[in-house]
C-alpha cells in the first residue's frame, strides 16, 4: 500500500477515536442534565402540592468517577494521536510528555469508578481495569521502536480491552442474557465484541431510570389535574407535550448509547485493519474488501453518532429552555368559580 494511503487510514482512525471519545464524555454530561431536569421538575411540583421535597441535588456520578472515565478516554485518544505521529514520521517526544500524567493516572484506576458489576464479577472487573493500564507501555514504544506495526500489534489487546470496558460501562437498559436472574452472563472477553451479552445496568439503565423518573412526574401532574386538583386545558397541553418529548428524548438517547457501543466494536475492527494493512504491506499481498472497509465503517458510524448526539442536545436544550410556572397549571377564574374556589367564598 502507498504510504500516503496508509497515513490517511491512520488519520481517519485517529479522527474517529477523537470524536467517539468526546461523544462518550458528552453522553455522561447529557445524563446529568436529564437528572437535573427531573430534580427541578419534581421540586416544583412537590412545592406546588405543599410538600417538603429534597432540595439537595445529587449528581449521578461523583467527581472521582468522571475523572476516571476522562483519564481512560484521554489515554485512548492519546494512543490514536501517537499512531498518527509515528505514521507521518513526526517526533512523539512532545506528545509523550503530554501523556505522562495520563499514563501515571491509569495506574490508579479501580473498577469501582465504572459501572461493571451488573455483568462482571469483582475479579473480572479488576482484571479488565488492570489490562487498560498497559497504555503507559504503549506510549513509550515509539521512543524505542519507531515502526508502526509493532506498536499496533502490541496495542491491539489494550485497545480492545478499553473498548470492552467502555461497552460494559455504557451497559444495557434490560437484561440480554437469561443468566442475569441468578449470575453473570459469563462473556468471553477474548471473543468478538458482537458476542457480548449484558445484564441491566450501566449508563443506559441509569439514563432510562432518570427519564422514567421525570416522565413519572408529568404523569402525576396529569392525574392530579384530571382528579380536579387544578389545571386548565393549556396546562394539560403543556404537561402532555413535555411527557411526549421526554419519552422521545429517552428513546433517542438509548439508541445513541447502543450505537456508541456498536461504534466501539467498529473501532476495534478498524484498529485491527491497520495492523492487517501493515502486515500485508510488509509481506506484499492484498487484503480482502471486507478487511479494507473496516476503517470506513468505523468512520461512518462515528459520523452518524455525532449527528444524532447534536440532535439530542438540541432537543434537550429546547426542553430545559421551556419556562413553566405554577400559573400554567392553575384553573381559569371561570373554572374556579364553577368549582366553588372563588376568592369570595
Amino acid 12: pLDDT: 94
Q: How far apart are CA 28 and CA 26, in angstroms?
A: 5
Amino acid 345: pLDDT: 37
Q: How far apart are CA 243 and CA 145, in angstroms?
A: 58
Amino acid 232: pLDDT: 66
- Name the residue ranges covered by the structural domains of the chain: 3-329
Q: What is the pTM of this model?
A: 0.90
Residue at grid coordinates 421551556: 322
Amino acid 98: pLDDT: 77
Residues of the chain under the 50 pLDDT cut: 1, 332-345
Q: What is the pLDDT of residues 212-257, one digit of tens each?
A: 999 999 999 999 888 765 556 778 888 899 999 999 999 999 999 9
Amino acid 279: pLDDT: 76
Q: How far apart are CA 137 and CA 104, in angstroms?
A: 11
Q: What is the 3-state secondary structure (H, E, C) of the chain?
A: CCHHHHHHHHHHHHHHHHHHHHHHHHHHHHHHHHHHHHHHHHHHHHHHCCCCCCCCCCCCCCHHHHHHHHHHHHHHHHHHHHHHHHHHCCCCHHHHHHHHHHHHHHCCCCHHHCCCCCCCCHHHHHHHHHHHCCHHHHHHHHHHCCCHHHHHHHHHHHHHHHHHHHHHHHCECCCCCHHHHCCCCCCCCCCCHHHCCCCCEHHHHHHHHHHHHHHHHHHHHHHHHHCCCCCCHHHHHHHHHHHHHHHHHHHHHHHHHHHHHHHHHHHHHHHHHHHHHHHHHHHCCCCCHHHHCHHHHHHHHHHHHHHHHHHHHHHHHHHHHCCCCHHHHCCCHHHHHHCCCCCCC
Amino acid 285: pLDDT: 54
Amino acid at each position: 500500500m502507498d504510504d500516503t494511503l496508509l497515513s490517511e487510514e491512520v488519520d481517519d482512525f485517529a479522527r474517529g477515536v477523537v470524536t467517539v471519545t468526546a461523544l462518550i464524555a458528552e453522553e455522561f454530561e447529557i445524563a446529568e442534565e436529564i437528572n437535573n431536569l427531573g430534580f427541578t421538575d419534581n421540586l416544583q411540583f412537590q412545592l406546588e402540592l405543599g410538600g417538603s421535597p429534597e432540595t439537595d441535588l445529587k449528581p449521578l456520578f461523583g467527581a472521582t468517577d468522571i475523572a476516571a472515565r476522562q483519564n481512560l478516554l484521554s489515554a485512548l485518544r492519546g494512543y490514536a494521536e501517537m499512531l498518527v505521529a509515528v505514521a507521518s514520521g513526526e517526533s512523539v517526544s512532545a506528545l509523550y510528555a503530554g501523556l505522562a500524567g495520563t499514563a501515571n493516572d491509569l495506574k490508579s484506576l479501580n473498577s469501582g469508578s465504572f459501572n461493571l458489576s451488573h455483568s462482571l464479577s469483582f475479579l473480572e472487573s479488576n482484571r479488565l481495569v488492570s489490562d487498560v493500564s498497559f497504555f503507559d507501555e504503549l506510549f513509550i514504544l515509539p521512543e524505542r521502536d519507531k515502526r508502526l506495526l509493532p506498536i499496533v500489534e502490541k496495542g491491539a489487546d489494550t485497545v480492545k480491552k478499553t473498548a470492552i470496558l467502555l461497552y460494559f460501562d455504557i451497559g444495557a437498559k434490560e437484561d440480554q442474557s437469561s443468566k442475569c436472574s441468578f449470575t453473570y452472563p459469563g462473556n468471553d472477553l477474548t471473543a468478538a465484541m458482537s458476542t457480548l451479552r449484558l445484564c441491566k445496568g450501566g449508563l443506559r439503565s441509569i439514563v432510562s431510570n432518570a427519564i422514567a423518573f421525570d416522565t413519572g412526574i408529568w404523569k402525576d401532574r396529569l392525574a392530579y389535574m384530571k382528579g380536579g386538583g387544578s389545571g386548565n386545558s393549556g396546562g394539560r397541553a403543556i404537561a402532555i407535550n413535555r411527557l411526549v418529548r421526554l419519552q422521545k428524548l429517552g428513546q433517542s438517547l438509548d439508541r445513541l448509547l447502543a450505537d456508541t457501543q456498536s461504534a466501539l466494536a467498529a473501532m476495534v475492527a478498524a484498529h485491527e485493519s491497520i495492523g492487517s494493512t501493515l502486515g500485508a504491506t510488509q509481506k506484499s499481498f492484498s487484503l480482502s474488501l471486507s478487511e479494507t472497509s473496516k476503517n470506513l465503517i468505523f468512520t461512518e458510524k462515528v459520523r452518524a453518532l455525532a449527528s444524532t448526539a447534536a440532535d439530542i442536545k438540541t432537543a434537550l436544550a429546547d426542553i430545559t429552555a421551556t419556562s413553566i410556572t405554577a400559573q400554567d397549571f392553575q384553573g381559569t377564574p371561570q373554572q374556579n368559580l364553577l368549582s366553588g374556589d372563588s376568592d369570595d367564598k
